[in-house]
Structure 1
Amino acid sequence: MTTLSSLSSHIPSTQPQWVKRFAKFGLAAKGVVYCLVGILAFMAAFEIGGRSERNLNKQGIFRFILEQPFGQILLALVAIGLVCYALWRLTQAFLDNENKGTDAKGIGRRVGYAFSGLVYGFLAYGSFRMVLGSQASQGGDTRQTLVRELLQKPFGQWLVGLIGLSIIGVGLYQIYRALSGKYLKNVQTSSIKTELKEMIIRSGKLGYIARGVVWGIIGYLFIKAAMAANASEAGGSSHAFAFLEKSSYGSYLLGAVAVGLFCYGVFMFVRARYEVINTSN
């Protein structure tokens, strides 16, 4: 049976500097995206500059970058960074340079790396299309399309519900990483200046909690779509922000999550600078 390990034996060994540079550039690009998500979500929460939470998905962020001076160049750099991030995650999955192994836990982590690599690869593809002038990404929410397709299958509602539970699980894991301190596992905190260390550690914790909250809401929306057999109930980050905005004290809740996502973006820059990138396999 084909396994991740057998696949990795057919892939050439990576050069350490290649892996490190791609990882660091990719983390920095991810930091840019999340900082912008946080800023724009905060503006939407308090109606600053006429911003709305409706377009606060990744494609909306790419469109925002494109509208800035030298937007095509800036978006191209972000897209290249996302490609680097995707390749780094795929390298972790197939070359196992994190030494996760081939037991159930290790395979689970490596499948997670592969999924992350594919997601960011698609994001990079979409951003490159926007750089080249394509606006095809405006054609609807891909999650709703997925749910609509699944609901037409046998046991479709159950499948959508299981996906929702899985997404909530990812969100809870993000919060667990924050509260347990595991998000600092590979970060050389001893190299961070003492006067900045506490602030950076807190920003990372807040960032992972905020990201977990968003994942949890997205999962809840999937479950809601499954129960109602209505694909329009599902959605991504922009729908999660809209859900927060409509709740009691919605502006403050969305504002708090926005600050957390900005902190997550900042922590990606910290990871790019201080994370130990494993390159052995």
Structure 2
Amino acid sequence: MVDISQHMPAPSPEWIRRLAKFGLIAKGVVYCLVGILAFMAAFELGGKSAQSSDKTGVFQFILEQSYGRILLIIVALGLLSYTIWRFVQAFQDTEHNGGSAKGIGKRIRYAFSGVVYGALAYYAAKLVMGNGGSNGDSRQTLVRELLEQPFGQWLVGIVALGTAIAGFYQIYLGLSDKYKKNVQNARLKHEVESMMIKAGKIGYVARGIVWIIIGYLFLKAALASNPNKAGGSGSAFSFLENSSYGSYLLGAVALGLLCYGIFMFMRALYQPIHTN
């Protein structure tokens, strides 16, 4: 297999570090706001709803603040920076994953992450320009398009399974402490390292729960052949809120996502960024 990284110009190491740190900060801002808005929705504070507490709802919230357009531009640029860094990780193999099946899998995951956050950056940019508010739920649009294809229900089912597996992997990542390697490599003070590990553990588990619910909603859409049953994190929050002890479940997950945002800030501050 030809390694595409051999045919790409190597970017400046300092340029990569700045992109990575700016991107991690922007991601942290988004997750902290998602957590705060979801917590407010859980306990009916400030008139917030679970459905509007997802990432796109966060962008709308930012836009409504003083100097909101400028703030949203900064967030969009940060998410674009994160996207570029993920692609650098994937194609330049800065994490030295190599060309094995496991290494290629990790690099594909980096690239997929880049695509997801690139789409978020694009949506934020559209909101800044004033034409991003009427697109509907992008996941329902995806399901609708997949259902129109041959074996459409199977395709949606595969997406559901993949999303749920990704969610279980996030939980495994948190509970197994696999993420601790990068934290420990930073050689931080014990108190800081302990706080960062705890924030990551709680954050990964909460993120995994949300992804599993999203996968379940995709599965319902596949079985019913109804794209309206699919949804993103906002729908997952609504699902939790409508469950038994829903306010407490949603509140706990919201606090977990807030921890994940804090973990992103700490990664930006302390994590070594590999550049070659």
CA distance in 1, matches of 2:125, 2:162: 30
Structure 1 residue 219: Cα displacement: 0.4
In structure 2, the CA distance between the partners of 1:191 and 1:104, relative to structure 1 (3 Å rule), is: closer
2:227 pairs with 1:251: no
2:109 pairs with 1:112: yes
Please give the per-residue CA displacement for 1:151-174, whole angstroms capped at 9, x wherever unaligned.
122211111111101001100111
The partner residue of 1:169 within 133, 147, 165 is 165
Q: Which residue of 1 aligns with 2:83?
A: 86
CA distance in 2, matches of 1:121, 1:41: 23
The partner residue of 2:120 within 123, 146, 152 is 123
Equivalences for 1:135-150 in 2 at 5 Å?
Answer: 136-150=132-146
Structure 1 residue 10: Cα displacement: 2.8
CA contact (8 A) 1:30 1:268 kept: yes
TM-score where L is the length of structure 2: 0.96
Structure 1 stretches lacking a partner, 5+ long: none
Please give the per-residue CA displacement for 1:116-159, whole angstroms capped at 9, x wherever unaligned.
1111111111112222222x343211111111111122211111
Equivalences for 1:60-71 in 2 at 5 Å?
Answer: 60-71=57-68
Structure 1 residue 8: Cα displacement: 2.3
CA distance in 2, matches of 1:27, 1:188: 18
CA distance in 1, matches of 2:5, 2:96: 12
Q: Which residue of 1 aligns with 2:151?
A: 155
CA distance in 1, matches of 2:142, 2:254: 27
In structure 2, the CA distance between the partners of 1:190 and 1:70, relative to structure 1 (3 Å rule), is: same
Q: Which residue of 1 aligns with 2:176?
A: 180
Q: Which residue of 2 aligns with 1:74?
A: 71
Structure 1 residue 9: Cα displacement: 2.6
In structure 2, the CA distance between the partners of 1:180 and 1:100, relative to structure 1 (3 Å rule), is: same
Q: Which residue of 1 aligns with 2:98?
A: 101
% identical equivalent positions? 61
Partner SS state of residue 12, structure 1 = coil
Q: Which residue of 1 aligns with 2:236?
A: 240
CA distance in 2, matches of 1:60, 1:184: 31
Amino acid at match of 2:66: P
CA contact (8 A) 2:183 2:196 kept: no
CA distance in 2, matches of 1:188, 1:132: 42
CA contact (8 A) 1:189 1:274 kept: no
CA contact (8 A) 2:186 2:270 kept: no
Structure 2 stretches lacking a partner, 5+ long: none
CA contact (8 A) 1:188 1:274 kept: no
CA distance in 1, matches of 2:192, 2:134: 41
Structure 1 residue 188: Cα displacement: 4.2
Structure 1 residue 43: Cα displacement: 0.1
The partner residue of 2:34 within 29, 33, 37 is 37
Q: Which residue of 1 aligns with 2:15?
A: 18
In structure 2, the CA distance between the partners of 1:263 and 1:189, relative to structure 1 (3 Å rule), is: farther
CA distance in 1, matches of 2:242, 2:145: 28
| Aligned length, in residue pairs | 276
CA contact (8 A) 1:59 1:137 kept: no
Structure 1 residue 180: Cα displacement: 1.1
Equivalences for 1:220-231 in 2 at 5 Å?
Answer: 220-231=216-227
In structure 2, the CA distance between the partners of 1:8 and 1:199, relative to structure 1 (3 Å rule), is: closer
CA distance in 2, matches of 1:84, 1:137: 23
2:273 pairs with 1:263: no
Structure 1 residue 190: Cα displacement: 6.0
CA contact (8 A) 2:171 2:208 kept: yes
Structure 1 residue 109: Cα displacement: 0.8
CA contact (8 A) 1:218 1:235 kept: yes
Structure 1 residue 189: Cα displacement: 6.6
Structure 1 residue 96: Cα displacement: 0.8
CA contact (8 A) 1:189 1:197 kept: no
The partner residue of 1:275 within 268, 271, 275 is 271
The partner residue of 2:50 within 53, 56, 60 is 53
